[in-house]
Amino acid sequence: MVIFILILDGNYISDGATIGSLINITGLRKADLTMNRLGSAGTKQLADTLINNKTLEELIVSSNNIGVDGFVDLMKSIKGNNSFKSFNFASNGLNPTVIEHISIAIKENSRLVALDLSDNQLGDECIISVLTSLEQNKSLEYLNLTKTEMTSQSTDYLIPFFSNHDHITGIKLGYNKLNPTVGINIGRVVSADNLVVLDVRNTNIGGNGTYGIFEGLQENISLIELIVNGNAIHKNGLRLLTKILQTNTTLQKLGLRFCDIGKAGFIELSKALEQNSSLTYLDISHNTLESLEACRKFGEAIGHQKTKKTEKFQKLLFLN
């Protein structure tokens, strides 16, 4: 038996050397070490044992309090591994003091395909440094900057970066303090037709920002997942989204949680669902549905979906 993926999350392991030896011996391609107790010392042990590893492709060390030293040690350890593709550093207490170290480490690992820095208090200066460090990376496909204390100040770099790196297909920016203009500009990125996943939940882009994203969606035939939870959707935006959903055949997952949709919005969406054959997941929870008419329309739309031969509708969150 050959094991390619090992999941050890939540095991309170602090001995990085033991984990590293296990990864080397088994020739693992993916190791998930989420919520252990590595700390900076255990992470250094892990990094030291991985220096000569040539098989590991993905390492998840989220919620291990690795600190800046652990980050640098791990990034150095995989420099000689041409197979390595993905790092997940989420929730590790990284902060703006790591800016120089992060920049150097990212520049030295230009083959990264996926990088997750979510839930770290990085701030604008550090985010800009990360984007600048990734300029020469032509293989990156996924970047998660969710909850990194980014504001609209980063967008002078953020939007051009995404526009110039059309190899990036997955972007997550949720829980950052952006603004409507950012949403409009992200819509232009969406229209370039390379994105597969976009998550901008709770980013203060408002009705104008969501409208801008939906405008971009009109030109897009690649997006599979779109999450705009926690951002208002105005009447015109919902009307545009409804029109798009009637003909879009690629979007499979749509998050509209806490978007102030209301009765009229549900009725509009019902029209779209009758025609749409690609959606498999729709989150419309917490939108204050207080209308029997809207409930009936939605029920009829879902029933119509289930009668379609190409129908694959699996999950509807309808919790108000």
Residue-number span of the structural domain to which 145 is assigned = 86-317
Among residues 85, 112, 147, the one where a domain terminates is 85
Q: Per-residue pLDDT tens for 111-148?
A: 899 999 999 999 999 999 999 999 999 999 999 999 99
Distance between CA atoms of residues 294 and 292, nearest Å: 5
The DSSP symbol for 53 reads -
User: Are 251 and 105 in the same domain?
Assistant: yes
Question: For 57-83, how does the pLDDT look when each residue is reduced to its tens digit (9 = 90+)?
Answer: 999 999 999 988 899 899 889 888 888
pTM: 0.91
pLDDT for 107: 87
Judge if 97 and 81 occupy the same domain: no
Q: Which of 59, 85, 111 is the last residue of a domain?
A: 85
117 shares a domain with 36: no
| Under 8 Å between Cβ of 113 and 87 | no
Please give the full DSSP string across 192-239, using - where no structure is assigned: TS--SEEE-TTSS-HHHHHHHHHHHHHT-S---EEE-TTS---HHHHH
The pLDDT assigned to 172 comes to 98
Give the pLDDT band (50/70/90) at residue 311.
very low
When pLDDT is cut at 50, 70 and 90, the band that residue 319 belongs to is very low
Do 155 and 297 fall within a single domain?
Answer: yes
Q: In this structure, are 1 and 96 located in the same domain?
A: no
Q: Are residues 127 and 223 both part of a single domain?
A: yes
Question: Which tokens belong to 210?
Answer: 């969501």
**Residue 86 to residues 55, 79, 225, 267, Cα–Cα distance (Å):** 12, 12, 20, 42
pLDDT for 209 beyond 70 = yes
- Summarize the confidence of residues 16-43 as an average pLDDT: 95
Q: What is the pLDDT of residues 284-310, one digit of tens each?
A: 888 876 666 667 766 776 665 554 534
Residue 105 predicted with pLDDT over 60:
yes
Contact 42, 16 (CB under 8 A): yes
CATH code at position 79: 3.80.10.10
Measure the CA angle with vertex 205, ends 156 and 168; round to 5°: 55
Count of domains for the chain? 2
Answer with the residue of higher pLDDT: 280 or 173: 173
Q: Helix 180-191 crosses helix 155-164 at what angle (to 10 degrees)?
A: 10
Q: Please, what's the largest Cα pairwise distance for the chain? A: 64
Q: Tabulate helix, strand, coil % of the chain (nearest 5).
A: 45, 10, 45
Q: Residue 145: what pLDDT?
A: 98
Do 231 and 299 share a domain, yes or no? yes
The answer to whether residues 30 and 55 touch, using CB atoms and an 8 Å cutoff, is: no
pLDDT digits (tens, 9 = 90+) for 140-171: 999 999 999 999 999 889 999 999 999 999 99
Residues 112 and 33 in one domain: no
Distances (CA, A) of 235 to 99, 227, 241, 273, 315: 42, 18, 10, 17, 25
pLDDT at residue 86 in the model: 95
Q: Are 147 and 177 in contact (CB under 8 A)?
A: no
Residue 291 pLDDT: 63
170/142 same-domain check: yes
Nearest to 230 by CA among 199, 269, 251, 253: 199
Residue 170 sits in the same domain as residue 31: no
Residue 310, pLDDT score:
43
CA nearest to 38, candidates 20, 57, 56, 58: 20
E strand segments, the chain? 5-7, 30-32, 58-60, 86-88, 114-116, 142-144, 170-172, 197-199, 225-227, 253-255, 281-283, 315-317
Q: What mean pLDDT comes out for the span 40-45?
A: 96
Exposed, middle or buried: residue 82 (CB in 10 Å: 0-12, 13-18, 19+)? Answer: exposed
172/267 same-domain check: yes
Residue 272 has pLDDT above 90, yes or no: no
Instruction: Among 58, 85, 112, identify where a domain stops.
Output: 85
Which pair of structure tokens corresponds to residue 193? 């037709």
153 shares a domain with 79:
no
Closest residue by Cα to residue 157 from 114, 110, 124, 119:
124
User: What backbone torsions phi and psi does residue 136 show, to the nearest 5 degrees?
Assistant: -85, -5
